[in-house]
């Protein structure tokens, strides 16, 4: 089950607007198919994804801790399989 958030284009402005907090994010292609689910400090993770061209779109949800983000990402991946 995908995150219940709207897709945003993965570009510099989006990365700059991302919170500097832990969270889970999805990377998607231009048609909205999920390519990857991961976790970490959102702004840092999205900077890397943008630099490597890992996707065209992104959506995320914040968590309170990195551990919480890791657990939520694992649950999310299990639902996608």
The Cα–Cα gap between 61 and 69 comes to: 9
| For the chain, percent of residues with pLDDT exceeding 70 | 99
The fourth-level CATH superfamily of domain 8-79 is GIY-YIG endonuclease (3.40.1440.10)
Q: How confident is the model at residue 1 (pLDDT cuts 50, 70, 90)?
A: low
pTM for this one? Answer: 0.94
- Which tokens go with 43? 């702004």
């Amino acid at each position: 089950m995908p995150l219940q958030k709207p897709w945003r284009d993965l570009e510099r402005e989006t990365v700059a607007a991302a919170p500097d907090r832990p969270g889970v994010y999805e990377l998607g292609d231009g048609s909205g198919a999920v390519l990857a689910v991961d976790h970490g400090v959102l702004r840092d993770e999205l900077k890397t994804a943008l630099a490597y061209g890992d996707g065209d779109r992104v959506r995320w949800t914040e968590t309170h801790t990195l551990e919480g983000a890791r657990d939520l990402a694992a649950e999310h991946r299990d639902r996608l399989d």
